[in-house]
Chain A
Amino acid sequence: MEYQDHSKSPDKMRLHGWFVFCAAVLIVLAFNLTPGKASEADATGKQAPDEAKASVSDGSGRFDALIKPYLEQHCIRCHGPEKQKGKVALHHASGAFGNKEEVDQWLSVLDMLSFGDMPPVKEKQPDPAETAKVVEWIKLRLEETGKAEAYQAKLIAPAYGNYVSHEELFSGEIKTPPYSPARFWRFSSNIFEARSYGKGIRSPFTYVTSPSEIRDYSAMSGVDRSTVQMILLNTEQWFEKREEKGDFKDFSDDDPIPNDQTLKELIQREFKAIIRRAATDEETARYVAFLNENIALGGNLDGLRTTLTAMFLSPESIYRMEFGMGPVDEHGRRHLAPEEIAYALAYALTDQGPDDTAIIRDTFKQGTLNNREDVARVVQQLLDENIGKDTPRKQPLPRIMRFFDEYFGFHRANEVFKDNQRRRLEAIGWGPQGLIRDARQVIQYRLREDEDVIARLLTGNEFYIAHNGDSDKAKKIYEESIAEVLAADYVENLVTKKREQLEKREKPVKPEAFQRMVDDVRKKAEASVRRYRQAIDDGFKPFPGFDGPRHGYHIVDLRYIGSYNLPPHTRGQLQKWAWEYEQPIELPKDQRAGILTHPAWLGAHSWNDGNDPIHRGIWVQKKLLAGVIHDVPPDVDAQVPVDPHKTLRERMEFLRAERCWNCHRKINPLGEPFEMFDDFGRYRTHDYFDEDGLLVTRRDGTFEGMLKRGKLTKRPIDASGEIKGSGDPSVDGEVENAVEMMNRLGRSDRARQSFIRHLFRYFMGRNERLSDSITLIEAEQAYLENGGSFKALVVSLLSSDSFLYRR
Chain B
Amino acid sequence: MMQGLAYGSASFAFAPFMRSVQAHAAGNPELMPKRFVFVVKSSGIEKFNLVPDGLENHFLNANTGEKLKNDERRPGPLVDRSLSDLTLPEKLRSLEKFKERMTVIQSLSGKTFKGNHTAGYGALSCHNSEAVAIAPTVDCLLGQHLSTGPYDMFGMAMNGRLLESPGMKPGDSYCYPNLSAAKEGMPVPYQASPRKALVELFGAAIAKPDQIERKLALHGNLMDFLTEDAKRIEAKLSSEDKQRFDLYKESFESLRLKEAKKAQMLPQIKKHAPTATPLYDSINPTDRIASHFEIATSALIAGLTNVITLRPDTLGVKYTSLGITDSVHHLGHLGQNPGLNGKNGFDNRRMVEEVHFENIAKMAEQFGRIPEGDGTMLDNTLIVYMSCTGGDHHNGQTDWPFVLVGGMANKLKMGRYIEYPKYQEKGHRTIGNLYLSLMQAAGMETQDTFGQLDTDLADNDLTGPLHELMAS
Contacts and interface: CB of A to CB of B under 8 A. Distances in A.
Interface of A: 23, 26-27, 29-30, 33, 35, 38, 181-184, 200, 202, 206-208, 219, 221-230, 232-233, 236-237, 240, 290, 293-294, 297-299, 302-303, 306, 309-310, 313-315, 318-319, 321, 323, 415, 417, 419-421, 607-609, 639-642
A27 B233 CA distance: 10
A229 B255 contact: yes
B314 interface: no
Contact of B229 (A240, A315, A642): A315
Contacts of A237: 173-174
B185 A208 contact: yes
Contact of B241 (A184, A236, A318, A415): A184
Contacts of A208: 184-185
B85 interface: no
15 contacts: A183-B238, A226-B183, A228-B248, A228-B252, A294-B221, A297-B217, A297-B221, A302-B214, A310-B225, A310-B226, A310-B229, A314-B226, A319-B233, A323-B236, A419-B395
Contact of B395 (A23, A309, A420): A420
Nearest to B230: A315
A458 to B, nearest CB: 29
A370 to B, nearest CB: 23
B406 interface: no
B239 interface: yes
Contacts of B219: 306
Contacts of B173: 200, 237, 240
A306 B244 contact: no
A233 B175 contact: no
Contacts of B71: 421
Given A233-B189, A293-B221, A225 B254 contact: yes
A212 to B, nearest CB: 13
Given A237-B173, A420-B395, A608-B112, A298 B186 contact: no
Nearest to B236: A26
Nearest to A222: B244
B32 to A, nearest CB: 28
Given A233-B189, A297-B214, A224 B236 contact: no
Interface in B226-261: 226, 229-230, 232-233, 235-241, 244-245, 247-248, 250-252, 254-255
B235 A315 contact: no
A736 B261 CA distance: 67
Contacts of A236: 174
A251 B184 CA distance: 40
A607 B222 CA distance: 49
Contacts of A182: 238
B455 A642 contact: yes
Question: Counting chain A CB atoms within 10 Å of each CB, which of B112, B175, B225 scores highest?
Answer: B225
Contact of A313 (B132, B174, B226, B254): B226
B251 A227 contact: yes
A228 B255 contact: yes
Given A240-B173, A298-B215, A315-B229, A35 B239 contact: yes
Contact of B236 (A30, A230, A640): A30
Nearest to B111: A419
A306 B455 contact: no
Contacts of B182: 226
Contacts of B247: 222-225
A122 to B, nearest CB: 31
A641 B458 CA distance: 8
A233 B221 CA distance: 18
A618 to B, nearest CB: 18
Interface string B184-228: 111001000000000000000000000000110111011001100
Contact of B214 (A181, A298, A309): A298
B7 interface: no
A182 B233 CA distance: 13
Contacts of B445: none
B221 A223 contact: no
Nearest to B232: A23
B393 to A, nearest CB: 13
B128 interface: yes
Interface in B92-120: 112, 114-115
B17 interface: no
A302 B254 contact: no
A297 B3 CA distance: 12
Given A200-B174, A609-B455, 10 more contacts: A33-B238, A184-B245, A208-B184, A208-B185, A223-B247, A227-B251, A228-B252, A237-B174, A297-B221, A417-B115
Contacts of A181: 238, 240
A639 B184 CA distance: 23
Q: DSSP class of A's interface residues: helix, strand, loop or mixed? A: helix
A187 B241 CA distance: 15
B176 interface: yes
Interface string B119-153: 00000000011001000000000000000000000
A224 B248 contact: yes
B240 A35 contact: yes
Contacts of A226: 182-183, 186
B455 A290 contact: no
Question: Counting chain B CB atoms within 10 Å of each CB, which of A206, A221, A299 scores highest?
Answer: A206
B241 A183 contact: yes
A641 B459 CA distance: 10
A225 B214 contact: no
B114 A417 contact: yes
A481 B221 CA distance: 64
Given A23-B232, A227-B251, A417-B114, A299 B175 contact: no
A297 B185 contact: no
B391 to A, nearest CB: 16
A297 B218 contact: yes
B448 interface: no
Give the 3 A-B residue pairs with the shortest CB-CB distance, closest first: A206-B185, A228-B251, A417-B114
Nearest to B132: A415
Nearest to B186: A226
A290 B114 contact: no
A642 B456 contact: yes
A608 B114 contact: yes
A546 B218 CA distance: 54
Given A208-B185, A642-B456, A318 B248 contact: yes
Nearest to A27: B236
B233 A315 contact: yes
A230 B459 CA distance: 43
B199 to A, nearest CB: 11
A306 B221 contact: yes
A38 B247 CA distance: 23
A615 to B, nearest CB: 15
Contacts of A230: 189
Nearest to A418: B114
A298 B112 contact: no
Contacts of A318: 248
A415 to B, nearest CB: 7
A225 B251 contact: yes
Contact of B128 (A232, A421, A608): A608
Nearest to B395: A420
A306 B218 CA distance: 7
Nearest to B182: A226
Contacts of A184: 233, 237, 241, 245
A160 B338 CA distance: 60
Interface in B54-71: 71
Contacts of B251: 223-225, 227-229
Contacts of A38: 238
Given A184-B233, A639-B455, A642-B455, A206 B215 contact: no
A314 B232 CA distance: 11
A23 B231 CA distance: 12
B187 to A, nearest CB: 8
Contacts of A27: 236
Given A223-B248, A237-B173, A298-B215, A306 B240 contact: no
A200 B240 CA distance: 34
